[in-house]
Amino acid sequence: MKRKNIGAILSFLLCLSLAGVTYAASSVAGDTVEYDFRSSQTVAKGNVVLTNNEGTVRAANAEYNTKSEAGKLTGGVEGVQGEARITCNTLVIHTGGDQLTAIGNAVLTKQDKTLRADQVEYFQSRKYMETVGDWAKLTMDNGQSSLDAEYINYDMNAGIANANGNVRINSSVRKLTASGDKAIYNTNEDDGTIELIGNATATQDGNTVSGQSLTLRGAGGSIAQADGKVKMVYLPKPQTTKPQDIEA
């Protein structure tokens, strides 16, 4: 296989970071491997393993054309590179190797962030990814915080994710729930800033604020700003009365 194929697959594992590097394969193995010199088509079947010094991709079967640089891995696809990991049912390499499609229970993990969706499209040269289907989930804080929506895209160069459609945020570590029509998540600002737009509501420690837009800033998830017909519901914490000493 040509090195651009393996590089595209392994750089896909870095879709939750700003990196994306092309690597050369050191080995391709399977129960059977066939190569057609006339069509430049490679077919590997059974326990397929693609390996280089940076990581490994496993699948039940794989096919790849060295001329068009298009191919497909099917059956329990799993790739690991350092702290990055991808699993899906099918991984499609489009002509030229720049666009990759993870289909079927696609799960991509990088450090403490995990993206799940029915399908994820990744564009290597743009460092851009987007989900396809009617649901997507981004989990953070090792699974203690989550952002659910109908659609999520992520620009790795800018460090900005956009979520559209029935956006819901839940953070058990911050005792925070929030919702809105759409959200903009800036991973580089104030240790992570989420702007909720349209019918935005957030509740933390029993206190609720709602408005046309809300901004949640920093790791603490504090509500920094609300705009447009703002409504706040504040529940005061119960006062504890210090017992008085009674003289006999």
Residue 221: closest CA among 199, 201, 204: 204
Q: What is the mean predicted confidence (pLDDT) over 140-144?
A: 74
Long-range contacts for 39-44 (Cβ within 8 Å, ≥24 apart)?
39/65, 40/65, 40/66, 40/67, 40/68, 41/65, 42/1, 42/66, 42/71
Q: Which is higher by pLDDT, 111 or 40?
A: 40
Secondary structure letter of residue 2 according to DSSP: -
Structural domains in the chain? Answer: 1-125 (2.60.450.10), 128-236 (2.60.450.10)
* pLDDT band (50, 70, 90) for residue 131: very high
Question: What pLDDT does residue 237 have?
Answer: 53
Both ends of the chain: CA-CA distance in Å? 93
Question: What pLDDT does residue 3 have?
Answer: 43
Question: What pLDDT does residue 175 have?
Answer: 84
Q: Is the pTM of this model over 0.85?
A: no
Distance of alpha carbon 196 from its chain centroid, rounded?
18
Question: What pLDDT does residue 167 have?
Answer: 96
Look over the chain and give the mean of its residue pLDDT values, rounded to a whole number. 78
Q: Is 22 exposed, middle or buried (0-12, 13-18, 19+ CB in 10 A)?
A: middle
Examine the pLDDT at 7 and tell me if it is beyond 90.
no
pLDDT digits (tens, 9 = 90+) for 206-248: 888 888 989 887 654 554 455 555 454 444 555 555 555 444 3
244's CB contacts (< 8 A; 6+ apart) are none
Amino acid (1-letter code) at residue 107:
V
Examine the pLDDT at 10 and tell me if it is beyond 80.
no
Q: Which of 2-6, 13-17, 31-35 has the lowest mean pLDDT?
A: 13-17
